Amino acid sequence: MRMKPKKELVRENDRIWSFLVKHKYNSTCQMCGKPATEAHHIISRTEYNTRWDTDNGIALCRECHRKIHDKMGNEEKEAFYRKIIGDDIYELLLRKSKYIGSRDYGTVEGWNRILRSEFLQEFGMTWEEYLQEAKGL
């Protein structure tokens, strides 16, 4: 089996992560209740220790996603995150993000295996089977 380039794996991880996060919240914006079209990272996506952790995401509509990035201060964001995911998970994400995460191929590939496993467990099909089914619609 051919190895995917790292950049391709990163994109795939992002797509699976986003799909899983939106599904976790029933595709409902956690700020306003409208349909969610985007998944937002609670801890910055630059932190590879938490980037693809599905606990590190919330579902938002585009408008609320922009609001979080452009209009909310750090204290307001933190209060919102704690309300949605709870204090324990928020604190765990903060601790995980403090470790220096590797950005090497093995780390990205490891996250890919985790995300694919979560997807299979949640939907009873592989990511590829889902993509094929979605193309047929």
pLDDT tens-digit profile of 103-117?
A: 899 999 999 999 999
The pLDDT, as a whole number, for residue 1 is: 58
User: Does 102 score more than 90 pLDDT?
Assistant: no
Closest CA to 57 of 42, 77, 75: 42
Band of pLDDT at residue 136, cut at 50, 70 and 90: confident
Band of pLDDT at residue 132, cut at 50, 70 and 90: very high
HSE-CB at 130 with a 13 A cutoff on CA atoms is 14
Task: Say how many C-beta atoms besides its own lie within 10 A of residue 31's C-beta.
Answer: 20
CA distance 17 to 34: 20
CA distance 30 to 94: 20
Span 28-71, pLDDT tens digits: 999 999 999 999 999 999 998 999 999 999 999 999 999 999 99
The pLDDT, as a whole number, for residue 137 is: 62
CA distance 96 to 126: 28
Give me 66's structure tokens: 């922009």
Q: Phi first, then psi: what are they for 91, rounded to 5°?
A: -65, -40
Give me 26's structure tokens: 């029933």
**What mean pLDDT comes out for the span 121-136?**
94
Q: Which residue has the tokens 């391709």?
A: 8
pTM of the model: 0.93
